[in-house]
């Protein structure tokens, strides 16, 4: 019986694969498009961040159609947008149109980050919810790894290699569209829209033994279906979700993946190796996400975050120190960054979308998911936009801008450590309705 929720969760999580691919693939093309369109650091940052600006929009608006039309229809629309963006980015030669298609792909990423985890959390049994919701993050890191690998494989395809890098995404996007047609609608959404007769057989297939009680609990958890998120009683889940999403980006993770070849060149690697080294980062991201997924429902969300915080602080600081002393420890940079990625994947990477998808009550989950995702992506857009300018700051042949960026990220992870330790609640093994009650939300 449990095979059914696992199967449909994995199909929905394919949106995460496209999410990861879309966000990481630009690292292979960003230096080429900088030269092709003669972009300065401001407009180069904007070109890379155009996708992230789209994610901000997508995360803001996704909750509205997901609430009105259902999770499944929105997932199908997202798949179409991924296909459209891949074809557009790979085929055009005009900068403004490239930015437009990157923006469209970004909208799909932002919407995926809201609707994918939301759908999975709503069809998952409580004892599996961490692992199944985490499968979305696992697919993100698989998408990142595949994007970094295909970037390396296509790097020698001549002046149009960047088109191959960006265009290959059309294959998984089309597959996602085909498969998502065969998943059911979220039973919680059906119940909230008074379609109990459709919800009951789905609930039975995902392992719900007492469907009538489950329906009553869902109804009781919703005081008013059209309620606004921004009310005093929701202040705790709002703060928890926003802060965790902010810290996710203040670790520097997206700056690293978006500009990985550039960072490795700054650290002293030649161009060929600057495309190869990111694959090691993607592999570490994948391995340690798999490890986190295997223990997230046993150890809990907080323990993973605490362990990860300590590791990220150490390895981010070591990376900054190594870049600050060129010629002495440059070879160690790859090991420090792999260490950072490992601890990020084991903690923040594995937990953030799981936590945001389960911390909000039924009545405002779509709005809460949008808020958490919006916070995540607005921070990503800001950091990715300004990073090229930061990377150009030098003093005595030392890239001081990059050095202080890594020190800043390390300090933010220290603050994150205290936030998790003192403030953040644990949600493992609890039904969504129980989490709501423990937060004091009636």
Tens-digit pLDDT profile for residues 98-117: 999 999 999 998 898 889 88
| pLDDT grade for 177, boundaries at 50, 70 and 90 | very high
Question: Which residues are CB-neighbours of 88 under 8 A, at least 6 positions away?
Answer: 97, 100, 101, 104
| pLDDT grade for 330, boundaries at 50, 70 and 90 | low
Question: Which residues are CB-neighbours of 418 under 8 A, at least 6 positions away?
Answer: none
**Tens of pLDDT, residues 200-211:** 888 888 877 778
pLDDT number for residue 298: 83
| pLDDT grade for 372, boundaries at 50, 70 and 90 | confident
The Cα–Cα gap between 138 and 144 comes to: 10
pLDDT number for residue 246: 94
Please tell me whether residue 121 adopts helix, strand or coil conformation: helix
pLDDT number for residue 442: 61
Is there a contact between 109 and 58 (Cβ–Cβ < 8 Å)? Answer: yes
Ordered by start, the domain boundaries in the chain are: 3-183+221-438
The Cα–Cα gap between 300 and 370 comes to: 24
User: Region 388-412: what's the mean pLDDT?
Assistant: 84
| pLDDT grade for 221, boundaries at 50, 70 and 90 | low
**Tens of pLDDT, residues 26-47:** 888 888 888 889 888 888 888 8
Angle of helix 71-91 versus helix 170-180 axis, rounded to 10:
160
The Cα–Cα gap between 121 and 137 comes to: 13
For residue 214, how far is the Cα from the chain centroid? 30
The Cα–Cα gap between 89 and 107 comes to: 14
C-alpha distances in Å from residue 122, one per residue of 7, 176, 186, 365 = 14, 20, 6, 10
The Cα–Cα gap between 384 and 396 comes to: 25
What DSSP element (H or E) covers 236? helix 235-250
Closest C-alpha among 138, 162, 160 to residue 150: 162
**Tens of pLDDT, residues 312-321:** 999 999 999 9
Average pLDDT across the chain, whole number: 86
Question: Which residues are CB-neighbours of 417 under 8 A, at least 6 positions away?
Answer: 306, 309, 310, 313
List alpha helices for 181-300, DSSP H: 187-192, 196-205, 211-220, 235-250, 253-258, 260-266, 271-299
Tell which CATH architecture fits domain 3-183+221-438. Up-down Bundle (1.20)
pLDDT number for residue 271: 67
Residue 2 has pLDDT above 70, yes or no: no
pLDDT number for residue 316: 95
Closest C-alpha among 230, 228, 233, 203 to residue 218: 203
């Amino acid at each position: 019986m449990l095979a059914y929720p696992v199967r449909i969760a994995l199909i929905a999580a394919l949106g995460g694969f496209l999410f990861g691919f879309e966000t990481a693939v630009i690292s292979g093309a960003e230096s080429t498009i900088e030269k092709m369109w003669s972009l300065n650091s401001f407009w180069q940052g904007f070109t890379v961040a155009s996708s992230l600006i789209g994610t901000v929009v997508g995360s803001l608006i996704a909750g509205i159609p997901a609430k009105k039309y259902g999770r499944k229809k929105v997932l199908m629309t997202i798949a179409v947008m991924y296909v459209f963006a891949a074809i557009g980015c790979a085929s055009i030669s005009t900068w403004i149109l490239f930015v437009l298609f990157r923006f469209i792909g970004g909208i799909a990423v932002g919407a995926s980050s809201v609707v994918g985890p939301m759908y999975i959390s709503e069809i998952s049994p409580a004892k599996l919810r961490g692992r199944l919701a985490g499968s979305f993050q696992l697919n993100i890191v698989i998408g990142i790894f595949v994007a970094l690998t295909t970037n390396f494989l296509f790097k020698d395809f001549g002046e149009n290699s960047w088109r191959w890098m960006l265009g290959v995404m059309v294959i998984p996007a089309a597959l996602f569209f085909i498969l998502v047609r065969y998943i059911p609608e979220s039973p919680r959404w059906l119940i909230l829209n008074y379609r109990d007769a459709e919800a009951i057989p789905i609930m039975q297939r995902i392992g719900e033994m007492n469907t009538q009680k489950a329906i009553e609990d869902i109804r009781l958890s919703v005081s008013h279906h059209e309620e606004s998120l921004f009310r005093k009683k929701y202040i705790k889940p709002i703060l928890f979700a926003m802060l965790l999403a902010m810290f996710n980006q203040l670790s520097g993770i997206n700056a690293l993946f978006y500009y990985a070849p550039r960072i490795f060149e700054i650290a002293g690697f030649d161009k060929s190796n600057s495309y190869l080294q990111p694959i090691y980062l993607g592999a570490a991201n994948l391995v340690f996400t798999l490890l986190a997924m295997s223990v997230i429902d046993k150890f809990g969300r907080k323990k993973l975050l605490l362990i990860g915080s300590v590791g990220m602080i150490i390895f981010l600081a070591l990376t900054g120190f190594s870049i600050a002393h060129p010629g002495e420890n440059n070879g160690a940079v790859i090991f420090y960054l792999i260490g950072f990625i490992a601890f990020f994947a084991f903690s923040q990477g594995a937990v953030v979308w799981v936590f945001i998808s389960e911390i909000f009550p039924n009545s405002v989950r779509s709005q809460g998911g949008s808020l958490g995702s919006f916070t995540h992506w607005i921070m990503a857009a800001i950091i990715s936009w300004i990073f090229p300018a930061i990377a150009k700051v030098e003093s005595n042949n030392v890239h001081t801008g990059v050095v202080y960026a890594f020190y800043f990220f390390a300090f933010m992870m220290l603050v994150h450590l205290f936030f998790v330790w003192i403030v953040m609640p644990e949600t493992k093994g609890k039904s969504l309705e129980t989490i709501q009650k423990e937060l004091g939300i009636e």
